[in-house]
């Protein structure tokens, strides 16, 4: 049900071929079809019910097992416990395995846990799949088991939550099957989703800061049905996660679009980079002039990075104004060594043409400002690395996001981040220090 993370360094074609040959994770139960539909989120925005639309998709019938993940690690040794970078997984990653390639004895058919969000994404990508979105997971989970109503399902989930934790799990498939033919959505482990932290706020104020009535404490004030306490617990748990976390109760399964599309295979970085560099991400991006690039192409200059979308009416114009004011306040020598990067959160609407029009309208010089768009999956990954939270578009076309602004050094390491530039002088001093550093 939930996640953690890392930037993926899968040896694309070799790992994919090896996993396909081994039939990793794909032959045990296949994928179930989840029909399209819509449902209300368990919290309100400005006292109004928020509905999410979900297109039909396919979801693995079972969670990924230790045996599945063992084959993946064998195919891509960079995902091994001793080799994965700390940027992408914490020290608990696969901590229950005997060594890099050996799960704990007797755990082969049990769901794999202590896997970060990044590693889970890499696993799914190597099968031509992806992690399900939170909306997809929740919609799939609404397929009630035969003979059970929603109240009965809530009671069974709460009973599971109330049981003492254990580091031993039953084999996948030992739980009930729901109306969509999917097993073990409840009763074994929590599961990662691709946008686990997207619903961390019911709304944003004009500064882009999360409203107080989000989750935890005041969060239940925006809830829609008091009886769905199990649902509130699940959503709140997701918000406690970071993409690098590797929890003992957290596993995952993969999804795929009906047209067979999942995540693309991954490639290694072309240059040597520090372990903590965000430029290790192999995501592909397009500039507003249509040229392709990778984040590592940004090396050499200190970068001020933010995420936005072009038809944002409140927060984005304010952040852009702060960035342009910062640019105007920079001494000439500093300006030559600092560049601005704005990445759209809405790649579907913000085409290269739309971004080019935004550049012209906003007066952003081509030698100083990069306007980028990528796939929805790569956009979500970059947001996780930066610490930006944003909600998918609702049925009404609404999207909320935080206004984080980050400073990356020449090698792509984050040296500072703020939510809005409230102290321009202090921000300029941080930029100057980043430029002066030759690490």
User: In the chain, what are the domains?
Assistant: 12-257 (3.90.1580), 278-436 (3.40.30.10)
Residue 337 CB-half CA count within 13 A:
14
Lowest mean pLDDT of 49-63, 118-132, 168-182, 246-260, name the range: 168-182
Average pLDDT estimate for 15-29: 45
Q: How confident is the model at residue 207 (pLDDT cuts 50, 70, 90)?
A: very low
Tell me the β-bridge partners of 65: 111
Q: Say what the pTM is.
A: 0.74
Candidates 235, 263, 209; CA nearest to 381 is: 263
- List % helix, strand, coil for the chain (3-state, nearest 5): 30, 20, 50
- Residue 219 tokens read as 């969060």
| Angle between the N-to-C axes of helices 150-162 and 229-239, in degrees from 0 to 180, rounded to the nearest 10 | 50
- Rounded to 10 degrees, the C-alpha dihedral 159/161/162/165 comes to 130
- pLDDT tens for 158-197 read 777 777 666 567 889 887 788 888 999 888 889 999 988 8
pLDDT at 227 (0 to 100): 53
- 3-state secondary structure string, 358-427? HHHHHCCCCCCEEEEEECHHHHHHHHHHHCCCECCCCCCCCCCECCEEEEECCCCCEEEEEECCCCHHHH
pLDDT at 47 (0 to 100): 66
Do the bridges between strand 338-344 and strand 369-374 make them parallel or antiparallel, or are there none, so unpaired? parallel
Tokens 């930006």 belong to which residue? 388
Average pLDDT estimate for 110-134: 93
Average pLDDT estimate for 32-55: 82
Average pLDDT estimate for 419-431: 93
Write down the H helix ranges in 256-386.
Answer: 315-329, 332-335, 352-362, 376-386
């Amino acid at each position: 049900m939930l996640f953690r993370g890392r930037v993926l360094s899968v040896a694309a074609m070799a790992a994919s071929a090896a996993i396909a040959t081994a039939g990793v994770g794909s032959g045990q139960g296949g994928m179930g079809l989840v029909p399209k539909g819509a449902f209300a989120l368990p919290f309100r925005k400005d006292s109004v019910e928020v509905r999410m639309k979900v297109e039909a998709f396919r979801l693995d019938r079972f969670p990924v097992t230790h045996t599945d993940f063992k084959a993946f690690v064998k195919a891509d040794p960079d995902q091994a416990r001793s080799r994965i970078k700390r940027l992408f997984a914490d020290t608990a990653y696969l901590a229950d395995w005997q060594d890099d390639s050996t799960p704990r004895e007797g755990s082969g058919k049990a769901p794999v846990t202590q896997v970060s969000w990044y590693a889970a994404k890499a696993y799914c990508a190597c099968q031509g799949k992806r992690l399900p979105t939170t909306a997809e997971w929740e919609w799939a989970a609404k397929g009630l088991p035969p003979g059970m109503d929603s109240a009965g399902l809530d009671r069974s989930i709460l009973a599971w939550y109330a049981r003492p934790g254990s580091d031993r799990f039953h084999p996948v498939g030992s739980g009930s099957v729901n109306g969509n033919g999917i097993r073990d959505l409840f009763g074994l482990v929590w599961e990662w989703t691709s946008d686990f932290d997207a619903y961390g706020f019911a709304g944003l104020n004009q500064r882009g800061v999360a409203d107080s009535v989000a989750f935890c404490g005041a969060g239940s004030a925006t809830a829609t049905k008091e009886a769905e306490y199990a649902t509130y617990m699940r959503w709140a748990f997701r918000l406690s996660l970071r993409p690098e976390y590797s929890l003992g109760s957290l596993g995952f399964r993969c999804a795929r679009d009906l047209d067979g599309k999942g995540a693309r295979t991954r490639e290694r970085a072309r240059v040597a980079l520090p372990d903590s560099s965000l430029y290790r991400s192999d995501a592909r991006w397009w500039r507003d002039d249509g040229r392709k690039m990778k984040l590592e192409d940004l090396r050499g200059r200190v970068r001020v990075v933010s995420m936005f979308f072009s038809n944002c009416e409140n927060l984005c114009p304010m952040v852009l104004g702060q960035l342009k004011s910062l640019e105007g306040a920079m001494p000439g020598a500093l300006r030559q060594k600092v560049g601005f990067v704005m990445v759209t959160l809405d790649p579907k609407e913000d085409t290269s043409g739309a971004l080019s029009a935004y550049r012209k309208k906003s007066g952003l010089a081509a030698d100083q400002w990069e306007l980028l768009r990528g796939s929805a999956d790569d956009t979500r990954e970059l947001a996780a690395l930066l610490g930006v939270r944003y909600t998918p578009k609702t049925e009404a076309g609404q999207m909320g996001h935080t206004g984080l602004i980050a400073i990356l050094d020449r090698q792509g390491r984050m040296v500072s981040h703020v939510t809005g530039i409230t102290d321009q002088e202090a921000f300029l001093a941080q930029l100057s220090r980043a430029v002066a550093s030759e690490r």
